[in-house]
Amino acid sequence: MGMFQRDTEIYKNRDALREDYQPDELVGRDEELARYKTALQPVINGEQPNNIFLYGKTGVGKTAGTRFLLDHLSEDAAQYDDIELTIKILNCDGLSSSYQIATRLVNKFRDDSNQISTTGYPRATVYDMLWSELDECRGTIIIVLDEVDHIEDDSILYQLPRARANGNLSNAKIGIIGISNDFSFRDNLSPKVKSSLCEEELQFPAYNAEELIQILSQRAEVAFHDDVISDGVIQLCAAYGAKDAGDARQSLDLLMKAGDIARDNETDAVTDELVREARDELERGRIREGISGLTQHGHLVLYAVLTLERQDKTPARSRDIRPRYTSFAEQVGVDPLVPRRMRDHLGELSMLGIISAVERNEGRRGGTYREYSLDMDINMVLEALEETVSEVGIHESIEELVDHEKTLSEYS
Ligand SMILES: Nc1ncnc2c1ncn2[C@@H]1O[C@H](COP(=O)(O)OP(=O)(O)OP(=O)(O)O)[C@@H](O)[C@H]1O
């Protein structure tokens, strides 16, 4: 027998839980899709399409909803002889300038043998190439710029929606769909870009538990064999998902992780217990990843908050965290940061969701300050801080938590 054998007890089609799987129907998003459909209606009428700006937090179906509607739109448009519809989707992740966007777009309209180099042309030349590609297409063109907030300069976002008004296009009608999960992006656009790019604004809210149940049930039916999912598993994944961020991707990942653990354990059912185990494992991974990206001072600040948390001294103000942080810094032989810089680290930690920050008012005299506490499981954070603990030494507050077998070899 070979080293690898197929296991098919749990999954019928595991790929159905993956991000790139496109379900035939989108569930739990009816109202938003109805509004989106209305915004796209001019295309079928042969009119100038709207420019649409779609925003919402991560994993709320922006990309899936866009693909779903555009697939239908292009299928339905094919039935009208007088509509020639071209749709191009570009993900702007990794592309930071208008120049890069323009070259990628030119290449999207060209075949493989005719691609342009993505560097070396003056910007005006690339724009001219783009206008001629677009005009050659004729008809209606929809360009989707997913993760549009990665573009750091406005130029293309101004030029594209206005290409026809500015006389750069005569044959093609163009509509832009910008997608973003960065709420501040829209607000920071210059007024002239905002008014053209955000003609129609759509917002996708986070999913609630009911909606996540619909999404997870739909995928589970395709992904798992009958009777593998125990009662209540979908509800539990959805409840966690709704509590965390209402992110469908995160909930699907949780269900898949639970399925993977069942498969690894060679059991034949995915149970509540496995979902809890999966959640712990995913959370641990997220914490570890977040913490590993911090600098040494970030680690020391976090270690200080953690020990204060253990001593019930949280929520704590930054001036109360400072002495502990300073002594830890001295213990490892580095100069402590000035208070302002230390607060920046507290801010970063709270942005990552590792600690929480609550704003308070200072009595009648006004002035606000923040109080910080640990916002994650103390043991998980401690595990991720292992190296820092070994450098600084074990603080008395965590002695009980530290595995003493480990202490001798790793922490000392
Ligand atoms: N209503 C839905 N029905 C079925 N599956 C969905 C639905 N919404 C989201 N999903 C699934 O959840 C995952 C994440 O969705 P999607 O990529 O559309 O999120 P997004 O809002 O574009 O997130 P991001 O901003 O991170 O790109 C995908 O696998 C998608 O198929």
In this prediction, residue 343 carries a pLDDT of 95
Instruction: Provide the 8-state DSSP code for 56.
Output: -
Best of 60, 71, 146 to mutate for ligand 1, by most ligand atoms within 8 A of CB? 60
Whether residue 238 is found in the same domain as residue 372: no
pLDDT (tens digit, 9 = 90+) per residue, 138-179?
Answer: 889 999 999 999 998 888 999 998 888 888 888 889 999 999
The CA distances from residue 239 to 209, 218, 251, 258, in Å, are 5, 16, 9, 15
Q: Which residues line ligand 1 (CB under 6 A)?
A: 19, 23, 26-29, 56, 58-64, 181, 215, 248-249, 252
Distance from residue 15's CA to the centre of ligand 1 (Å): 15
pLDDT bucket at 283, cuts 50 / 70 / 90? confident
Do residue 308 and residue 382 come from a single domain?
yes
Q: State CA 246 to chain mean position distance.
A: 12
Q: Tell whether 258 and 270 lie within a shared domain.
A: yes
Nearest-CA neighbor of 212 among 29, 348, 393, 350? 29
Range of the domain at 333: 294-411
Is the pLDDT confidence value at 196 over 80?
yes
Residue 3 domain-assigned (yes or no): no
Ligand 1 mean position, distance from CA 184 (Å): 21
pLDDT in tens, 294-306: 999 999 999 999 9
Q: Are residues 37 and 164 in the same domain?
A: yes
> How much is the average pLDDT of 103-131?
91
Residue 408 has pLDDT above 60, yes or no: no
Ligand 1, atom 10: closest residue by C-alpha = 61
Q: Cα separation of 262 and 254, whole Å?
A: 12
Domain assignment present for 23: no
Residues 233 and 169 in one domain: no
Read off the pLDDT of residues 339-393 as tens digits, 9 standing for 90 and up. 999 999 999 998 888 899 998 887 766 688 899 999 888 998 998 899 999 999 9
The verdict on 313 and 263 lying in the same domain is no
- 61 Rama class: left (phi>0) / alpha (psi -120 to 50) / beta: left
* Same structural domain, 220 and 188: no
Q: Is residue 12 part of a domain?
A: no
- Asked, for residue 382, whether it belongs to a domain, the answer is yes
The answer to whether the CB of 147 falls within 8 A of the CB of 93 is yes
| pLDDT average, residue stretch 18-42 | 92
Taking the C-alpha atoms of residue 152 and residue 41, their distance in angstroms, rounded to an integer, is 31
Is 269 annotated in a binding site? The answer is: no
Largest CA distance in the chain: 78
The enclosing domain of 303 has a CATH number of: 1.10.10.10
Within this chain, do residues 54 and 84 fall inside the same structural domain, yes or no?
yes
Q: Considering the domain boundaries, does residue 15 fall inside one? A: no
Query: Separation of 83 CA from ligand 1 center, angstroms?
Result: 29
Which long-range contacts link 29-34 to residues 24+ away (Cβ below 8 Å)? 29/61, 29/65, 29/204, 29/211, 32/61, 32/65, 32/202, 32/203, 32/204, 32/205, 33/65, 33/68, 33/69
Q: How far is the CA of 143 from the centre of ligand 1 (A)?
A: 19
Final residue in a domain of this structure, among 290, 316, 346: 290
Residue 22 lies in a domain: no
Domain count, the chain: 3
Q: What is the DSSP letter of 198?
A: T
Both 271 and 344 in a single domain?
no
Residue 329 is assigned to a ligand binding site: no
Which of 290, 319, 343 finishes a domain? 290
Q: What distance in Å separates the CA atoms of residue 27 and residue 204, rounded to the nearest whole number? A: 13
Are 181 and 217 contained in the same domain?
Answer: no
Domain C-terminal end among 263, 290, 317 = 290
